[in-house]
Structure 1
Amino acid sequence: MSSVVAPSPILQFPGAVAGLPESPDSAVAWHYGDPLGEQRAAVERVAVVDRSHRFVISMTGKERLTWLHTISSQHIAQLGDGQSAENLDLDLNGRVLNHFVLTDLDGTVWIDTEADRGPGLLDFLQKMVFWADAKPVAAPDYAVLSLLGPGVADLATETLGIAALPDIYAAVPLPGGGFLRRMPWPTHDSFDLIVPRDQLADWWTRLRAAGVEAAGMWTFEALRVAAVRPRIGLDTDDRTIPHEVNWIGGPAEFGAVHLEKGCYRGQETVARVHNLGKPPRHLVLLHLDGSADGRPAPGDAVTAGGRAVGVLGTVIDHYEFGPIALALIKRNIPADTALEAGPCAASIDPDSIPAHDEPQAGRLAIDKLRGR
């Protein structure tokens, strides 16, 4: 996955170190000289992360929500003004093609997604409009910043110009254009600023002047991994289905796939796994041996006794946990299995393993028919 946008103007600010050229975050700062300290600031105080390489789409039209509801996995037909949700675009086999966040505000749906996925998602949306009153277009004039930390509450009135912070998945307009949206991850205190791109440097300067600390994408990624939130293209592959990566659920469950909505592409697989089966793999958090000579890379095999049992996603250094990673692991691998990832010994964080023992409606019905 590589960036397809121009370098951010924030890279010109003192201390900014860009992501590696082959990184999906090469267009923005990876850190500002103290990556672990920046993570601590984002958890304990308040930090701003430049995520202006996100691809932004705007959509107007009276049927923007009802139409998008029919072609995507989330229940958004009655999404209220100023409300947001996470959503997926699936293929016919229920495999994840795109993950995006959407907000409906003042007659416009705003969508942001990964830089390299954005053009394809926009092309799909435009091809599927047909006769619907919905007009999806690229919105390169808007950019994303993220505010992280409990200190965001102190910024509301004077710095952000809003009366109060919104609830999770809610959004409020900002003076001068754009909006502030609250997210449930990567930390409890996570907010996105979607602002006019020509105001990006001004917002950065204003926030820094208010005492907000600069943090790079290293911080955002480390906190995301610790929260076991996948990033499409890094923690997913071309076989990934939503059940494998914790994307099941409506907005109230912080998910991207609502299980009680009408037909959409890929729904058959979602329903079959939910009602009759279990996912073949699941996303887990791995703790890596920091004393090893070298680190594994995304895409490396995770092995147990020399046998491949999974694949690595994001690998990152966390300010408290040390080296950690996300991995898609076969569902039947016990949490205490000794694993290896590249040159490192690895262990599964048992708290990251999702439960798969809930009663399945389809299985219960079959058992009832069979007299069990």
Structure 2
Amino acid sequence: MSVFAGRAGFVASGSGPAAHFGNPLGEQRRLADGRAVVELGLGVVTVSGPDRLSWLNSITSQLLLGLEPGVGTETLVLDQSGRVEHAARVVDDGTTTWLLTEPDDAASLAAWLTSMRFMLRVEASDRSADFVTLGRFGAAVPADDVVAEWVDPWSSVTPGGWGYADLEAHPGSDWTLRIAVVTPGTAAAIAASDEPAAGLLAYEALRIAAWRPSLADVDERTIPHELDWLRSAVHLSKGCYRGQETVAKVHNLGHPPRRVVLLHLDGSDAVLPAPGTPVALDDKEVGRLTASAVHHELGPIGLAIVKRSLDPGATLTVVADDVVVTAAQETIVPPGAGATANVPRLPRLGAVKRS
């Protein structure tokens, strides 16, 4: 149960934390301005042992060797074909590495990590039941007993990463999210204070507007390039890890088969299409909605994964409650993303040089 359940207007989300407290748009404004805290309900996995960073570095997409205590980063677990299986926000405190993931992914991530231990001096544990995750923009979450704090690197392309969004001012450039891991007692004290709180609806709208990918946007086919996740979660010049061949090949020589777009949804009928809803062009399915929300400035918006070849200027449709909602695209990953390598043309084997 949420520690904020006693707050006036509390409406629970499906995952437990508040969806809102009666005024989602007002909460959103306060959250964006750094004047509210949001309970995120994330899963918490800890990795301890002297080999933890070198081990995690060898099996995930981010360069974690030498990660300084308190520095926030992000990493992905990929399958052999480069598809995303797990995603984790990463921070190390000098003795323990903290991995924050979606609530329904923590147990499977901890189990997978445990299966990969072999003879190394590491131990992974699902500690989700022991801690509460609180988010805030701008300043640190006001708590004396913060166990760990993760600062989101999304505001810029991280070292070794790559941003596909082709624009000067990225909407995530002022994304200043901090997530504090605290004990239930500390969270309860914050909930009992006069600190303003926001619900998950407010956070989700801000996330979508910042083009910030999440495991919620992933399906069984997703590769990092499609969500512009090379920006924060992939290091392109680190050593080998599972799925690296696909990451390098698509980035250097090919194109991701799909790409993420921001959709500006028509709100005339006051319906909001749900995540998972098909996205169509001329009644032909061209993608699917992965997230949707009502933003306090942009109105109804969503993230969608669409075919790479889709015309960026095409007006799309999404059906919600038997109402056809029109949607204008805003390009995040352009159709030409990838193929960044300048590969020299080599002479054919046995070719004779002519004088």
Normalised-by-shorter TM-score class? 0.7 to 0.9
Which residue matches 1:138?
126
Q: Return closer, same or farther for 1:92/1:15 CA change in 2, 3 Å cut-off.
A: same
Which residue matches 1:282?
259
Which residue matches 2:25?
36
Q: Does 1:244 align with 2:226?
A: yes
- Cα contact 1:225–1:325 (8 A) shared by 2: yes
- 2:200 paired residue among 199, 217, 222: 217
* Amino acid of the structure 1 residue aligned with 2:228: N
Which residue matches 2:103?
115
Number of equivalent positions: 326
The 2-side partners of 1:124 and 1:79 are apart by 22
Give the deviation of 1:257 after TM superposition: 1.0
The 1-side partners of 2:311 and 2:237 are apart by 32
Instruction: Give 5+ residue unaligned stretches, structure 1.
Output: 1-6, 161-174, 250-254
- Cα contact 2:256–2:338 (8 A) shared by 1: no
The 1-side partners of 2:188 and 2:220 are apart by 37
Q: Does 1:235 align with 2:217?
A: yes
- 1:204 paired residue among 180, 187, 191: 191
Which residue matches 1:3?
none
* Amino acid of the structure 2 residue aligned with 1:365: V
Which residue matches 1:176?
145
Which residue matches 1:166?
none
Give the deviation of 1:12 after TM superposition: 2.2
Q: Return closer, same or farther for 1:293/1:30 CA change in 2, 3 Å cut-off.
A: closer
The 2-side partners of 1:244 and 1:201 are apart by 39
The 1-side partners of 2:31 and 2:334 are apart by 26
Q: Return closer, same or farther for 1:357/1:294 CA change in 2, 3 Å cut-off.
A: closer
User: Which structure's residues are more often helix, by fraction?
Assistant: 1
Which residue matches 1:14?
8
**After the TM superposition, which of the residue ranges 255-264 and 39-48 deviates more from structure 2?**
39-48
The 1-side partners of 2:2 and 2:347 are apart by 61
Which residue matches 1:194?
181
Deviations 1:209-240 (A, max 9, x none): xxx421000011000011111221x3221000
Q: Does 1:84 align with 2:72?
A: yes
* Amino acid of the structure 1 residue aligned with 2:63: H
Give the deviation of 1:189 after TM superposition: 2.9
SS at match of 2:72: strand
Deviations 1:276-330 (A, max 9, x none): 1010111110001101363322112111112211111111111111111100011
SS at match of 1:347: strand
State the Cα RMSD in Å: 2.1
* Amino acid of the structure 2 residue aligned with 1:264: Y
- Cα contact 2:91–2:98 (8 A) shared by 1: yes
- Cα contact 2:147–2:181 (8 A) shared by 1: yes
Deviations 1:16-73 (A, max 9, x none): 1111xxx4xx31100111100111112234110011x211111111100001101111
SS at match of 1:49: strand
Deviations 1:109-133 (A, max 9, x none): 0111111111110000001011111
Instruction: Give 5+ residue unaligned stretches, structure 2.
Output: 155-171
What is the TM-score of this pair, normalised by structure 1?
0.82
The 1-side partners of 2:298 and 2:146 are apart by 39
- Cα contact 1:141–1:198 (8 A) shared by 2: no
The 1-side partners of 2:103 and 2:4 are apart by 17
What is the TM-score of this pair, normalised by structure 2?
0.86
* Amino acid of the structure 1 residue aligned with 2:328: S
